[in-house]
A and B are shown apart, each in its own frame.
Chain A
Amino acid sequence: MKIVFTPDWFLGQDFLIEIFSFMILFLFFFFSIKSYKLSKNKKVLYLGIGFLLIAIGELSTILTKLVLYYDTTITQNIGQIVITYAVVKSVDIFYHLGFFLHKFFTLFGLYIIYRPPLKRISGDFVLTTYFIIISALLSQSFYYVYHITALIFLFLIINNYCKIYKKSKLANTKILLIALSLLAISQIIFILSKLSQLYVIAQNIQLISYITLLVLIMRISKNGKKKEQNRDNI
């Protein structure tokens, strides 16, 4: 059974994409906390927690792949091809735990962004958390279960932001929608990622999606400065 579907020539590059994704997610968490400190809006706090959970998920993959790709004591013995095909029995538990945490935190983060538990923890919340754990566990054997679950959450989030965009017509919300749609497309391709070329395409679409999110955060920062400068020039 394969642990990762990265083709040999792409090893390391996927790792860099994940570091970049982690940084963007952390930036969104940082912005949410900054926003919460000022406005005390609990919805913003939960949005931030959602981004933080997905960032932790990315960090789990980064740390796992760091050992998987760059641990010289292992690589010396078995080489890259063997690592890709996961015959690393002695360290299996570590890798499985790392990838499980990635899936669990990412799905849980997406769920929090979709439906923040604003008042009190309900039965639905507990039930969904349980299904997220089951989904993350099942994904260890059937990798596509994770991507399908992530895709469902992304569709629900996109649907929410579509409604918001229809009301506000804000350019920033449109950019957010584009980024989320790209992320959803990458998940669809990941479902078919047994073909290594498709895995690479999915990773690159994910990269474009995170670049779009970076553009969004830059626009938000810039707009704030620009509006204030315009005011000063009046």
Chain B
Amino acid sequence: MERKRNRIEIIYDILRVIQDKGGKIKKTHLMYKANLSHNQMKLYLNELYKKGLIENISSSSKYLIQITKKGRDFSEKYVQVREFERTFGL
């Protein structure tokens, strides 16, 4: 059985999913691809909006979530940290 993801891993997964979709994604797609329940997603998205890691945009009457520069930087920093911890087996 796979272990439960912690908070920071979920945040990274959300940002990764958005980046994999070219930086923009629909809310419903994000929910499925990041493997989150509706309530979970609401909580995490609020946190990410507040921290400026993502933003809302509207294009041709669709509401999309877009990753910000700060979000990309966070994602990069997280990958480095994970790589560092894996190197030392932590």
**Which A residues are closer than 8 A to B by beta carbons?**
31-32, 34-35, 38-41, 43-44, 47, 160-161, 164, 167-168, 170, 172-173, 176, 216, 220-221, 223-225, 227-228, 231-232, 234
Do A39 and B79 contact each other (CB < 8 Å), given the known contacts A44-B90, A232-B19, A234-B22? no
The digit string for B48-90, where 1 denotes a CB below 8 A from any CB of A, is: 0000000000000000000000001001111111011111111
Please give, as numbers and ranges, the residues of chain A lying within 8 Å of B89 by CB-CB distance: 160-161, 164, 167-168, 173
Asked if A41 and B19 make an inter-chain contact with CB atoms under 8 angstroms apart, the answer reads no
CA distance A93 to B82 in the complex (A): 45
Please give, as numbers and ranges, the residues of chain A lying within 8 Å of B19 by CB-CB distance: 228, 231-232, 234
Asked if A170 and B76 make an inter-chain contact with CB atoms under 8 angstroms apart, the answer reads no
Please give, as numbers and ranges, the residues of chain A lying within 8 Å of B77 by CB-CB distance: 34, 38, 224
Main secondary structure, interface of B, reads helix
Main secondary structure, interface of A, reads helix
Chain B positions 15-69 with a Cβ under 8 Å from a chain A Cβ: 16, 19-20, 22-23
Asked if B83 and A172 make an inter-chain contact with CB atoms under 8 angstroms apart, the answer reads yes
How close is B33's CB to chain A, nearest CB, in angstroms?
13
Please give, as numbers and ranges, the residues of chain B lying within 8 Å of A224 by CB-CB distance: 76-77, 79-81, 83
**Which B residues are closer than 8 A to A by beta carbons?**
8, 16, 19-20, 22-23, 72, 75-81, 83-90
- A47, A161, A221: the one within 8 Å of B80 (CB): A221
Please give, as numbers and ranges, the residues of chain A lying within 8 Å of B78 by CB-CB distance: 38
Please give, as numbers and ranges, the residues of chain A lying within 8 Å of B22 by CB-CB distance: 234
Asked if B80 and A231 make an inter-chain contact with CB atoms under 8 angstroms apart, the answer reads no
How close is B53's CB to chain A, nearest CB, in angstroms?
13
Please give, as numbers and ranges, the residues of chain A lying within 8 Å of B85 by CB-CB distance: 35, 39, 41, 44
Asked if A172 and B86 make an inter-chain contact with CB atoms under 8 angstroms apart, the answer reads yes
CA distance A32 to B76 in the complex (A): 16
Can you list 19 A-B contacts with CB-CB less than 8 angstroms, sorted by A residue number?
A35-B81, A38-B77, A39-B8, A39-B85, A47-B90, A168-B89, A170-B87, A176-B88, A216-B87, A221-B80, A224-B77, A224-B79, A228-B72, A228-B76, A231-B19, A231-B75, A232-B23, A234-B20, A234-B22
Do A38 and B81 contact each other (CB < 8 Å), given the known contacts A172-B87, A228-B19? yes
Do A41 and B20 contact each other (CB < 8 Å), given the known contacts A221-B80, A224-B80, A227-B79? no
CA distance A156 to B66 in the complex (A): 48
- B8, B20, B84, B90: the one within 8 Å of A220 (CB): B84
Q: Given contacts A172-B87, A228-B76, could you give 6 more A-B pairs where the C-beta distance is less than 8 Å?
A: A32-B84, A161-B88, A164-B88, A223-B83, A224-B81, A225-B76
Asked if B87 and A35 make an inter-chain contact with CB atoms under 8 angstroms apart, the answer reads no
How close is A79's CB to chain B, nearest CB, in angstroms?
46
